[in-house]
Amino acid sequence: MKINSKKYTIVLIAILFTFSQYGCNKSLNLKPLDQLSDVAYFKTPTDFKIFANQYYDWLKNFSTLQGVTDNPHSDGRSDVSGGGGSFGAGTNNIPATDPDNGNSGNWTRDFGRIRAANYLLTKAAAYSTPSAITQYVAEAKFFRAYVYFDLLQQFGAAPIVTTLLDPTSPELYGSRATRDAVVDFIISDLQAAIPDLPASLTASSADYGRVTQTSAQAFLGRVALYEGTWQKSRGGDATRYNALLDKSIAASNAVISSNQYALFGTVASNALGGNSTILGDSAQKYLFILENPKSNPASVTKAANHEYVLSVRYDDVVKVAGVNISRSAHNGTGVNRKYANMFLCKDGLPIEKSPLFQGFQTYLSEFQNRDNRMRYTLKVPGGYYWFGLLNARVNWTDDAADRATAEFAKPGGGYGSQKWISERAVADKFESEDYPVIRYAEVLLNYAEAVYERNGSISDADLNKSLNLVRLRVNIDNVMPPLSNGFVGANGLDMRTEIRRERAIELFDEDFRFDDIKRWHSAATDLVSNVGGTAYGNLAQFISPWPLGTKYIGTQAQLGPDAINPIPTNAIDANGCLITDQTARQFSEKNYLYPIPAQQISLNPKLVQNPGW
């Protein structure tokens, strides 16, 4: 058989690159062997374990472009960001090639990773004592599912590859499996992996940080919710999407029932070890910058964090982040008016309904009487904030000396995020907070949403065991009322809207929002016709076709004192708000999936480009 040499080269790039990734166990930085010999390798369980270490670098982390900066799932491309760029505007084009840079899709990279998972599984099938390597076989299946879910979210259907291919394998030139088949394959891999993974791992375990049964169940809950709502929002088969939602409910409930996790800053977390309640409501901020060196006023360390179900772990000595986390976050994902308006008032009502809302007349008025998460996620104008080496805390008392080193949040035309921004004197690239691949708050929100979407309703008991734990953990002083059926009915609210609101508020800048509005089939509306509004009241004063900053006309921002200086040159919408991005917005049906790189279609026309591209 004559082999096209150009095609052969590209295919090799796509399927043979497997052995250059970093691993993760207690040492935080093990690598697989650079060169593997079938004769000398895969002879002991340790060989399989070392090979599996590379899989852990596939998890989203700070050391790649898939942390707090732009990537295919980034909040920066969504309706709560500064503008969404070309992807949020729907003006992106088909990429010619598929560079592994985190921005253009990752078809080639993902299939290289699938080959790495299949490699271990192939060697395991011939191993003489299979019972000795069941954990690593399970890890290979978990990570194969993890990668296929990445492909599903980006491209939809994809070829299913379960064996090691060579240049003559017909699968190289085959068509994509159906979307349903890909989803079923992901779920089957996860279900096969769960029983053979450790039930739990303590912090003292040499394997701490590896995938466990509960982390795989949590991920299954995420996958099944994603696809169940994707199908439901598009009028799919009810039997199928309800079965998926049932799987999501069961998987998330298994994590809840395990009693292994608790929200940081709660009494339940203290019961698992450490004292995070000492941080009070500020636990919402310090969770995301928690390090073992002093990183918060109470010197709480990572030992008190029982919220991260699966994380990429860093250490200030053994494995630092290697990137400027604080600087990236400080200058990264923007925040628009739509997100700021999503925060409820402390009476549990949205701003368009609450008599407690103080309006937009001054810089501080819109922050008053609001969900505490607003002031711990966004920078309050006139507040003091510290980040990294140049603007670090001095004595952690917030006194005059401390404030002298801080950045003063001057009034401006937009909203600033403080998530991921360190307060300690840490040199650039040496931060060591862990990255939450899955955290317990998401599991609780997944459970609540899946129950509601499955049944068209949710009981107060189910809300109290899930969503309300998230809603109330940082609103101790505010005494925000829990979400309940009675509260929704009495105030003319919509339960689905409130469940989605909680998700948007809590998971901001953790790369869920863009995928969420895609699975809900609402992105074309959220990104085009209601970018500046709350999306919850449809009142004219809150709606704009553009991403917006603060209200300017007739407010302190324009009239003073401390008016914005220099005078902003932004265009202004009909309600007097600054427009932050006037990119032509045309997000349409085709944009719910990324286009497959043109090179891949050229090499294998049977892949067929996604609709509309």
Give residue-wise pLDDT tens across range 524-546: 999 886 554 444 344 455 566 77
- Top-ranked range on mean pLDDT: pick from 11-25, 138-152, 473-487: 138-152
Residue with token string 């052995």: 19
Residue 13 has what pLDDT? 34
Residue 118 has what pLDDT? 98
DSSP annotation of 457 reads: -
Q: Per the structure block, which two tokens stand in for 270?
A: 């203290």
Long-range contacts of 39-46 (CB under 8 A, 24+ apart): 42/123, 42/127, 45/129, 45/132, 45/133, 45/136
> 224: which residues sit within 8 A by CB, 6+ positions away?
187, 244, 245, 247, 248, 251, 450
Predicted confidence (pLDDT) per residue in 315-332, tens digit: 999 999 998 888 877 766
Mean pLDDT of the chain: 89
Alpha carbons 521 and 364: distance in angstroms, whole number: 35
Residue with token string 């917030």: 398
Q: Per the structure block, which two tokens stand in for 109?
A: 């990279």
Alpha carbons 238 and 219: distance in angstroms, whole number: 23
Other C-beta atoms closer than 10 Å to the C-beta of 338 total 24
| Number of structural domains in the chain | 1
> 456: which residues sit within 8 A by CB, 6+ positions away?
none
Residue 543 has what pLDDT? 60
Q: Is 268 contained in some domain?
A: no
Residue 138 has what pLDDT? 98
Q: At what angle do helices 107-125 and 134-155 cross, to 10 degrees?
A: 160
| Averaged pLDDT for residues 365-381 | 95
* 602 pLDDT higher than 80: yes
* 369 pLDDT higher than 70: yes
Counting residues of the chain whose pLDDT is more than 90, the rounded percentage is 75
Q: Is 4 contained in some domain?
A: yes
Residue 31 has what pLDDT? 40
Q: Say if residue 438 is exposed, middle or buried (CB neighbours under 10 Å; 0-12, 13-18, 19+).
A: buried
Alpha carbons 191 and 193: distance in angstroms, whole number: 5
- Residues in the chain, overall count: 613
* 19 pLDDT higher than 60: no
Q: What is the dihedral of CA 414, 419, 422, 427, to 10 degrees?
A: -70
Q: Which of 18-27, 62-71, 562-571 has the lowest mean pLDDT?
A: 18-27
Element (H, E) at 551: strand 548-551
The residue type at 124: A
The residue type at 211: V
Cα angle vertex 111, ends 107, 116, to 5°?
150
Counting residues of the chain whose pLDDT is more than 70, the rounded percentage is 88
Q: Per the structure block, which two tokens stand in for 227?
A: 């696809």
Distance spanning both ends of the chain, measured CA to CA: 34
Alpha carbons 258 and 253: distance in angstroms, whole number: 8
Q: Is 52 contained in some domain?
A: yes
Residue with token string 């809590």: 506
Burial 532-560 (b: 16+ CB within 10 A, else e): bbbbbbeeebbbbebbbbbbbeebbbeee
Q: Is 121 contained in some domain?
A: yes
Residue 234 φ/ψ, nearest 5 degrees: -110, 15
Residue 160 φ/ψ, nearest 5 degrees: -100, 120
The answer to whether residues 373 and 343 touch, using CB atoms and an 8 Å cutoff, is yes
Higher pLDDT, 264 or 580: 264
* 567 pLDDT higher than 80: yes
Confidence band, pLDDT 50/70/90 cuts, at residue 105: low
| Averaged pLDDT for residues 407-434 | 90
Which residues are paired to 237 by β-bridges?
A: none
State the CATH number of the domain containing residue 600: 1.25.40.890
Confidence band, pLDDT 50/70/90 cuts, at residue 84: confident
Q: Say if residue 38 is exposed, middle or buried (CB neighbours under 10 Å; 0-12, 13-18, 19+).
A: exposed
Tell me, rounded to whole angstroms, the distance of Cα 567 from its chain centroid. Answer: 36
Question: In angstroms, what CA-CA distances link 317 with 217, 298, 352, 385?
Answer: 32, 21, 49, 26
Three-state DSSP string of 403-444: HHCCEECCCCCCECECCCCCCCCCCCCCCCCCEEEEEHHHHH
Q: Per the structure block, which two tokens stand in for 232?
A: 């439901």
* 3 pLDDT higher than 70: no
Q: Is the dihedral of CA 33, 35, 36, 37 positive or negative?
A: negative
DSSP annotation of 128 reads: S
Predicted confidence (pLDDT) per residue in 213-257, tens digit: 999 999 999 999 999 999 999 999 999 999 999 999 999 999 999
Q: Is 346 contained in some domain?
A: no
Q: Say if residue 384 is exposed, middle or buried (CB neighbours under 10 Å; 0-12, 13-18, 19+).
A: middle
Q: Is 125 contained in some domain?
A: yes
* 191 pLDDT higher than 90: yes
19: containing domain = 1-68+91-189+592-613
Residue 14 has what pLDDT? 39
Closest C-alpha among 420, 401, 203 to residue 291 = 420
Other C-beta atoms closer than 10 Å to the C-beta of 610 total 20
* 67 pLDDT higher than 90: no
Alpha carbons 402 and 462: distance in angstroms, whole number: 44
Q: Is the dihedral of CA 386, 345, 514, 474 positive or negative?
A: positive
Question: In angstroms, what CA-CA distances link 256 with 214, 216, 218, 263, 498?
Answer: 9, 13, 9, 11, 21
| Averaged pLDDT for residues 262-273 | 97
> β-pairing, 407-408 with 435-439?
unpaired
Question: What pTM does this model have?
Answer: 0.92
Cα angle vertex 419, ends 282, 308, to 5°?
75
Q: Is 572 contained in some domain?
A: no
* 18 pLDDT higher than 90: no
DSSP annotation of 302 reads: G
The residue type at 103: N
> β-pairing, 548-551 with 435-439?
unpaired
Q: Is 195 contained in some domain?
A: no
Residue 387 has what pLDDT? 86
Higher pLDDT, 335 or 222: 222
The answer to whether residues 410 and 381 touch, using CB atoms and an 8 Å cutoff, is yes
Q: Is the dihedral of CA 534, 538, 540, 541 positive or negative?
A: negative
